[in-house]
């Protein structure tokens, strides 16, 4: 998978040495992602592009809508 469309706060499904886990993207470099695994038992914090097998993008419009509601209250 190419990492061009991956942004911080997106969720990825990664397979590192046969271990599959979900993680939140913290930062992106040319060939790697710095991630925070959702399951605390996972110790992998860097994922290569070839290890990413799924991607869920965070909705930017939805995030703005939630922030607007929070300010109104």
Task: Give 13-69 pLDDT, tens digit per residue.
Answer: 999 999 999 999 999 998 999 999 999 999 999 999 999 999 999 876 655 554 444
**40 lies in some domain:** yes
**44 lies in some domain:** yes
Do residues 27 and 45 make contact, with C-beta atoms less than 8 angstroms apart?
Answer: no
Range of the domain at 29: 11-72
- Please report the pLDDT score of residue 60 as a whole number: 67
**38 lies in some domain:** yes
What pTM value is reported for the model? Answer: 0.76
Higher-pLDDT residue of 5, 1: 5
| Total domains in the fold of the chain | 1
């Amino acid at each position: 998978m190419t990492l061009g469309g991956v942004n911080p706060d997106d969720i990825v499904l990664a397979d590192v040495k046969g271990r599959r886990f979900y993680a939140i993207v913290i930062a992106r470099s040319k060939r790697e992602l710095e991630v925070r695994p959702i399951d605390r038992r996972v110790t992998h914090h860097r994922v290569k592009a070839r290890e990413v097998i799924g991607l869920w993008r965070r909705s930017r419009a939805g995030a703005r809508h939630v922030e607007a509601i929070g300010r109104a209250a």
